[in-house]
Amino acid sequence: LTQIIPDLKKVINQSTEHVKTSDDTTSDARQAQFNYAFRVFVRTMSSHFSPLVLCLDDLQWADTSSLNIIELLLSDEQNKCSFMIIGCYRSNEVNGMHIFSASLASLSEM
């Protein structure tokens, strides 16, 4: 894959230099490692001259971890001008108690 996308080497090298995994790593630590690696990946793949657009459908079915990483990516100051998410959801399946409602409210405050 790095032969097709040479900049991916930057992500892999940064992730392995700064983030070491072990068998006794907690799930929270593994999630933080993934969040870091994915955020660096998005930064590497997007630029002012080559913006990245991610389209996500059926967000009403997204789990908490997925919604958290979406919020993390959209709040990343280094991606403000070069990264955009287009999200779709079925409003008739989302009420005020749905986890997506809280995430949507948080995103609208950004």
**Alpha carbon distance 83, 54 (integer Å):** 8
Is pTM beyond 0.75? Reply is no
User: What pLDDT, on the 0 to 100 scale, is given for residue 15?
Assistant: 46
- Residue 60 has which token pair? 């009403």
> What does the mean pLDDT of the chain come to?
81
Of the pLDDT bands very low, low, confident and very high (cuts 50, 70, 90), residue 108 is: confident
Provide CB contacts within 8 A for 26, sequence distance 6+: none
Check residue 3 and give its pLDDT. 64
Helix (H, G, I), strand (E, B) or coil at 52: strand
In this prediction, residue 58 carries a pLDDT of 95
| pLDDT, tens digit (0-9, with 9 covering 90-100), for 4-33 | 667 767 766 654 444 455 566 788 888 888
Place of tokens 């287009």: 86
Find out whether 29 and 22 touch, Cβ atoms under 8 Å.
no
- Residue 55's φ and ψ, nearest 5 degrees, are -105, 125
- The two three-digit tokens of residue 9, written as one number: 């080497």
Tokens of 81: 């001008």
> Around Cβ 33, how many Cβ atoms within 10 Å?
16
